[in-house]
Structure 1
Amino acid sequence: MRPEAIQIIKDEHLAIAAVLYCLRYIVKEVKDEGKAPDFVLLRAILDYIVSYPDRWHHPKEDKYLFAAVRARSHEADELIARLEKEHQDGYPMVEDLKTQLIAWQQGQVGAQDAFCATVARYLELEWGHMRTEEDLLMPIAERTLTADDWVAINTAFRENDNPLFGIKPKEEAELLYQRILSLAPAPIGYGPAR
């Protein structure tokens, strides 16, 4: 039977991928079709990326899944080092996107092009990263980790909220995700057609 954490990670990847697809779609419409940018939607997307993948999803992978695989086998050491570096590289790119989005909103020359170029790099990094985790790391994890290893990992991925501190990232991410879907153009979101 497949470990619960594997399915949770894949489900989280699907949600992240949907948001990234929306980002790509908006940027393509602006660049290729000359549509006016939806800055509210772009800001919601960046907020989602910061609040969920960067603050909760990636740290759990590093602390639980990657650490457990590394403890059981050296087969994935280089792969895990690469994935951890990609986690680290993604955050500054999102910070750059936030700065570039503000500059674009303020009408600064070249800001739109800078934002679009950073989006392209970020999308390439994230989609490749998720594919690598699913296609290369997860099979190694399934093969090398014990049932006891999976208990701890499953628990970590099941528990996205921290009630002790009132932190509810799963709820916060879901609200942002639903907001993005409602703001997104009809072919992507479930909101009213524009």
Structure 2
Amino acid sequence: MKPEAVQIIRDEHLAISAVLYSLRYLVKGMRKGNAPNFPLLRAILDYIVSYPDRWHHPKEDKYLFSAVQRRTREADGLIARLEREHSQGYPMVEDLKKQLIAFQGGDARAGEAFWDTAERYAEFEWDHLRTEEDALIPIAERVLTPEDWAEIAIAFRENDNPLFGIKPKDEAETLYQRILSLTPTPLGMGGAA
């Protein structure tokens, strides 16, 4: 039986992947001449900043990665790479935000830059998520104890930060639902004809 924490992490990865898919879908459409959906693009970037960068990745660093390193040194190089990727993602999103503002302001070159950066970011993040699931999680499943997994699950299940009164999962869910409500239904996927 898989530890609960593994399913939580995979579920979070799935939600992040769905948002990245929406971003890439929009970029492909804009490259074909579709009008930009700026409210949806802003919601996507807000989600990426508020959930993966502020809550998901730091918990992986603090709980999953450190637990693995307490149990084995075999993943040190892999964890160093994943931590480096966590820190590289944030500046890419900051660039995306700046490019989106310029694009919305009418700068056509900023639109091209936004599309290119968005596609690079989506690929970068998908590679990162796959590496965690295909390389790190199998090591973690092999070396971590039930107590380690319980601590990780508690951290990932936590909804509130009592110090700040923040409910990160509620905030992320609200943004995620906003993205879904703003995303056009792809042809063949249901919805109104």
What's the TM-score once normalised by structure 2's chain length?
0.95
Q: Which has the higher contact order (CA 8 A, sep 6+)?
A: 2
Q: Shift of the alpha carbon at 1:164?
A: 4.3
| Aligned-partner SS, 1:165 | coil
Identity %: 71
1:84 aligns with 2:83: yes
C-alpha RMSD over aligned residues: 1.7
Q: CA–CA distance in 1 between the matches of 2:27 and 2:190?
A: 19
Residue 18 of structure 1 corresponds to: 18
Give the conservation status (yes or no) of the 8 Å contact 1:48–1:176: yes
Matching residue's letter, 1:12 = E
AA aligned to 1:125 is F
Paired residue secondary structure (1:166) = coil
Secondary structure at the aligned position of 1:15 is classed as helix
Gaps of 5+ in 1: none
Q: Look up the match of 2:66.
A: 67
What stretches of structure 2 of length at least 5 have no aligned partner?
A: none
Q: TM-score, normalised by structure 1?
A: 0.95
1:187, CA displacement in angstroms? 2.2
Cα shift at 1:87: 0.4
The residue that corresponds to 2:27 in the other structure is 27
- In structure 2, the residue matched to 1:54 is 53
For residue 163 of structure 1, report the CA deviation from its aligned partner.
3.5
> Would the aligned equivalents of 1:181 and 1:191 in 2 still touch at CA under 8 Å?
no
Q: Name the CA distance, whole Å, in 2 between partners of 1:83 and 1:160.
A: 24
Q: Once the two structures are superposed, what CA deviation does each residue of 1:95-140 show, in whole Å capped at 9, x if it has no partner?
A: 0000000000111241011001101110111000000000110000
Deviation at 1:165, TM superposition (A): 2.5
Establish whether residue 103 from structure 1 lines up as the match of residue 106 from structure 2: no
Q: Tell me the alpha carbon deviations over residues 33-53 of structure 1, each in whole angstroms, 9 at most, x when there is no partner.
A: 201000000000000000000
Q: Which residue of 2 aligns with 1:178?
A: 177
